[in-house]
Chain A
Amino acid sequence: MKLMSSNLPLLVLICSGYLSIFTGSILSSAYLLEVPVWDSHCLSFSFSILADNVSMIFVGTVLVISGSVATYCKWYMASETYYNRFMGLVWLFVLSMIFMILVPNLVMLLIGWDGLGLTSFLLVAYYQNNKSLSAAMLTALTNRIGDVLVLVSISILLNEGGWLVYSYYPVSMWSGLSVVVVLAGMTKSAQMPFCAWLPAAMAAPTPVSSLVHSSTLVTAGVYLVLRSFYVVSANPLATQMLMILSLFTLVLAGSSAVFAFDLKKVIALSTLSQLSLMMFSISILLPFVAFFHLVTHAVFKALLFLGAGGVIHSNQSIQDIRGLSSLWQSLPVSMSAMSVAIVSLSGAPFMSGFYSKDLIIELSMMDSSMTYGCYMLELLGLIFTSFYSARIVFSVMLGSNYINCSTLRLFEHLNMQVPFLSLYVGAIFLGLSLGSTMEKFGYVVVLESYESLSIFLIPFVGLAMWWGVLTKLGFNPWSWTKMLSFFLSMWLVESLTSHPGKTLFFKSSLMMYQTLDQGWLELLGPQGVYAKLGQVSQLNEVVQSNYFTYQMVAWSLVTIAGLSLVVFM
């Protein structure tokens, strides 16, 4: 009872979150509040808030997740000295996320957009070690690229005379805006060239990973792209680029998750693959389906992360999958939560992940613009998802590894169980309840029966593969060391994208500093002038010290010249 009363504000927050989701799903009109902030010349900035069903549902989801995570933090971060500082950062993060969702004006959107990058920098750098600092730098700088791209799109829109990129029907617009907006979304959502930061950001405390790097921050990019859908879809180049890169990310993340050993990293990579699925569905012109998956994914991924955090925290911070085993005996509530989340993640029928994922697959099957190759890549990515989900289930929950001989008596605190329960409800029923809302958008699925049956079976293909490959054939892909290092480094993505950039940056800055600031500019500027002046004054000194001699020589030369002139004339 005492626990309940101390958590009352958070429980109210969770309830209001669910209320907001419910309100959003029955809301049929949109409300826009606009307050002018600055008005000058021919230009004005105003602060605006948009409340329609999309933003209400998303805000509700963020509230539910943040309330659950805050309750969870009371257990997870109980031994933290600077608990208030930590929670302050988390709430700042939630606030900027809500700003990001509610503000449709591209200029004022920067408050939330930049704020997300900065607070996530502080949260990733929360632990005072070098690894977390470098991860935080990677996160903040990749997010900064997104900020710069938003600034660039503001600059493009400045010539158009309006900031509401969400309701912008491009008429005369330079079509590069679509590419810029898509790229900005891709930095926040960690799509292919910018995907190195998401696994690195797992250096943050686990509740932060659950809130920030799985369900909210990374979906901000998807949200921006789906909101500015009219602009994005105006340029076929942008959607084509998005489709190719998101499918590539889907396969990359799925295959890397199959091989990763770190539990948090597996979940991070699965987040990456789900994000690329959302991006993919935007690229085939289905923004609201992407939003549906965004909401369901946010809830079950937060649940999965909280479960994983419970596992890690209860097992003396062991994150390696090989060191964790048969936890269903010791942590029954966490494991049931995690299994619900995993089943939902892999898209098993009638969980909430099923409805959204199923819709994406069905509608992409109907899409005539997709090539066969794209379709195969999509299916491959989805099979990977169920494969690594099965791997988590069989090794962490049910498996019996001999490495870990824990004699601890594990105990599940109530502060840990309450958030599980609240997200549990969402992970099971949200898909069903929102699915009916999605029908309002008029997506009609026309498929042959064997096709829909095959979609039904996708989650089980991965399971069957796991069973067949490991148990029946005795085939162990983790023993191929060369391939393993390739997949563990996420297809060498860090050495291909961020390392060359970093090296170029530092080399060029050193070159600039040495050749220009300490070289040519000094030579042509102060030092060179100083040296030249010194030389001139030395010359002067020489001249003046031998004044008589030079005078004699000069005069004699002049005399000789004069005489010779006289003589020869």
Chain B
Amino acid sequence: MVKSLAISLIALIIMKDLNMSIIGLSLLTITSLMTTSTAISSVEMGGLYTTDFVMGLMVTLTLFVAALSHLSSVKTARKSSFNLMVVSITLILLMSFSVSSFFLFFFFRESISTSAIANCGMSMSASAITSSGLYGYLYCVWFALLSMSRKGIMCKSNKEKNKVCSKYSKEKRYKTVVTVYSGLLNKLPMYPFHLWLPKAHVEAPVAGSMLLAGVVLKLGGYGLLRFMSVMQMNLSSVFYILLLLVNLAGGLYAGLVCVRQVDLKCLVAYSSVAHMSLVLLGVLSNTPVGVMGAVIIMIGHGLCSSGLFSYVNVAYKMSHSRLLVMNKGGLLICPSLVLMCFLLSSSNMAAPPSLNLFGEILVFGVGGWMSGLFLCILGLMSFISACFSLYLYGSCNHGKGMMHSESLSFSSMCDIMILAVHWVPLNFLFMFMP
């Protein structure tokens, strides 16, 4: 893991032409994903960093997705500033996953939103910046303010700030939970706080989308997971039950809304919202099986949604449109791309042996253990995920091609390889999970 990190830094800083080193890096990170995931013990380094297997997985996922997002935007304009942006986002993400203090975690987590907005703005016009910036700020900053203020109070009142092993006094626990959760749930995003996500995706360039869906969304789940491990919470409180119900209903609604989308990126973004509610259920169940399921779904979803955004980008390059009606008949144009699209969208609907299915089985088990009602809702969500995944595949790739575009540009081998590299760990990593 350390080796691959060092190599990635060397490759990104020293070498000018990054593509070859990045292909090597992505292979290294796959092996690293396998090895870190077997390390169960947790190691604290100098009071600043903590490593355990969740952190190791998240860090490797970040490196992996960052490498692939760089590869999928090789031909960007303003190359150097773009590279700077991607590298800075990656570094901030790495920091926020690996620091052991809650305060620093929140600090880095919030600095992501700034650089993400800058990233969104890179390729867009001024009006686009205003709308996505408005949404991003209104959601992220407002809730961040709430949780940061609470963090400050916590840091003052508590001596221990470590996110792995601190304990809480009972007073003000309720307020702490509500405020900190609101910040994290917004990042996740949970259903009522999700409006910023499709808008940010629509306006971000492909690398931004891949990083956002693949890694940034995991910050919320990761933070919740850490927070749950130190926070003693009354599992029969009204807040908790309400949170679970809103979360599951929200996942269902997000899935339903998916089939009404006309924009490919919006569709994939809403499908992330639907999947994130499974993560939240796993984390909130506060059982080893549920937490394991949540981590596995996070990894699986990170790979899968990043791959789907990459696919959307390839489709965009071919048809010059992200609209569903303008992307038809892919099978006639580029069969290998269609194969990758099918593999990724079937993994998105949790087909075996993907990590999504593995995590879904665990979360289903926990949901059934919690309540029969949850099991019913989870079943419906799983069904709807099949609906929108097959909708995505069928509407893009089946039928006669749209002949609106006079000069079709074909996808390159590199694009297909990027999609394949997303799919391979997604479907074979289950063997290496601890």
Nearest B-chain residue to A511, judged by Cβ: B256
Count of interface residues, chain A, beta-carbon cutoff 8 Å: 50
Q: Quote the shortest CB–CB distance from A526 to chain B (angstroms).
A: 5
From A85, A118, A130, B351 is in contact (CB under 8 Å) with A118
Contact A148 B394 (CB under 8 A): no
From A41, A129, A136, A137, B288 is in contact (CB under 8 Å) with A41
Measured between beta carbons, the chain B residues less than 8 angstroms from A137 are 390, 394
Interface residues of A in 470-512 (CB under 8 A from B): 505-506, 508-510, 512
Measured between beta carbons, the chain B residues less than 8 angstroms from A144 are 349, 382-383, 386-387
Count of interface residues, chain B, beta-carbon cutoff 8 Å: 52
B399 within 8 A of A: yes
From B139, B332, B369, B390, A140 is in contact (CB under 8 Å) with B390
Contact B383 A509 (CB under 8 A): no
Complex interface: stretch among B63-71, B149-157, B426-434: B426-434
A141 within 8 A of B: yes
A37 within 8 A of B: yes
A350 and B383 CA atoms in complex are apart in Å by 45
Contact B361 A107 (CB under 8 A): yes
Contact B379 A152 (CB under 8 A): yes
Nearest A-chain residue to B376, judged by Cβ: A152
From A40, A121, A125, A154, B365 is in contact (CB under 8 Å) with A154
A516 and B335 CA atoms in complex are apart in Å by 38
Interface residues of A in 100-124 (CB under 8 A from B): 107, 110-111, 114-115, 118, 121-122
Measured between beta carbons, the chain A residues less than 8 angstroms from B260 are 506, 509-510, 513
Q: What mask results when residues 186 to 211 of chain B are scored 1 for a CB within 8 Å of chain A, else 0?
A: 00000011011000000000000000
Nearest B-chain residue to A154, judged by Cβ: B361
Measured between beta carbons, the chain A residues less than 8 angstroms from B329 are 128
Measured between beta carbons, the chain B residues less than 8 angstroms from A509 are 256-260
Q: Quote the shortest CB–CB distance from B5 to chain A (angstroms).
A: 26
B7 within 8 A of A: no
Overall SS of chain B's interface = helix
From B332, B394, B399, A129 is in contact (CB under 8 Å) with B399
A37 and B258 CA atoms in complex are apart in Å by 34
A445 within 8 A of B: no
A114 and B383 CA atoms in complex are apart in Å by 12
A560 within 8 A of B: no
B331 within 8 A of A: yes
Q: Quote the shortest CB–CB distance from A549 to chain B (angstroms).
A: 34
B292 within 8 A of A: yes
Contact A125 B256 (CB under 8 A): no
Contact A159 B368 (CB under 8 A): yes
Q: Quote the shortest CB–CB distance from A410 to chain B (angstroms).
A: 32
Contact A43 B368 (CB under 8 A): no
A158 within 8 A of B: yes
A394 and B346 CA atoms in complex are apart in Å by 45
Q: What mask results when residues 130 to 150 of chain A are scored 1 for a CB within 8 Å of chain B, else 0?
A: 100100110011001101110
Contact B394 A136 (CB under 8 A): yes
Known contacts being A136-B394, A145-B383, A517-B195, is A512 close to B253, with CB within 8 Å? yes
Contact A155 B134 (CB under 8 A): no
Contact B398 A125 (CB under 8 A): yes
Most chain A Cβ neighbours within 10 Å, of B134, B260, B360, B375: B260
Q: Quote the shortest CB–CB distance from B388 to chain A (angstroms).
A: 10
Measured between beta carbons, the chain B residues less than 8 angstroms from A40 are 288, 292, 433-434
A41 and B289 CA atoms in complex are apart in Å by 8
Q: Quote the shortest CB–CB distance from B113 to chain A (angstroms).
A: 15
Contact B368 A506 (CB under 8 A): no
Contact B433 A38 (CB under 8 A): yes
B400 within 8 A of A: yes
Measured between beta carbons, the chain A residues less than 8 angstroms from B346 are 118
Measured between beta carbons, the chain B residues less than 8 angstroms from A522 are 195
Measured between beta carbons, the chain A residues less than 8 angstroms from B135 are 526
A151 and B361 CA atoms in complex are apart in Å by 7
Contact A155 B257 (CB under 8 A): no
Q: What mask results when residues 368 to 391 of chain B are scored 1 for a CB within 8 Å of chain A, else 0?
A: 110000010001001100110010
Interface residues of B in 130-148 (CB under 8 A from A): 134-135, 138-139
Interface residues of B in 382-434 (CB under 8 A from A): 382-383, 386-387, 390, 394, 398-400, 430-431, 433-434
Measured between beta carbons, the chain A residues less than 8 angstroms from B195 are 517, 521-522, 525-526
Contact A526 B139 (CB under 8 A): yes
B357 within 8 A of A: yes
> A residues bordering B, Cβ < 8 Å?
37-38, 40-41, 43, 85, 107, 110-111, 114-115, 118, 121-122, 125, 128-130, 133, 136-137, 140-141, 144-145, 147-149, 151-152, 154-156, 158-159, 505-506, 508-510, 512-513, 516-517, 521-522, 525-526, 529-530
> B residues bordering A, Cβ < 8 Å?
134-135, 138-139, 192-193, 195-196, 253, 256-260, 288-289, 292, 329, 331-332, 335, 342, 346, 349, 351-353, 357-358, 360-362, 364-365, 367-369, 375, 379, 382-383, 386-387, 390, 394, 398-400, 430-431, 433-434
- Provide 20 A-B residue pairs closer than 8 Å at the C-beta atoms, listed in order of the A residue: A115-B351, A118-B346, A118-B351, A122-B342, A128-B398, A128-B400, A145-B383, A151-B364, A152-B364, A152-B368, A155-B375, A156-B368, A158-B364, A159-B365, A505-B256, A509-B260, A512-B256, A525-B139, A525-B195, A526-B138
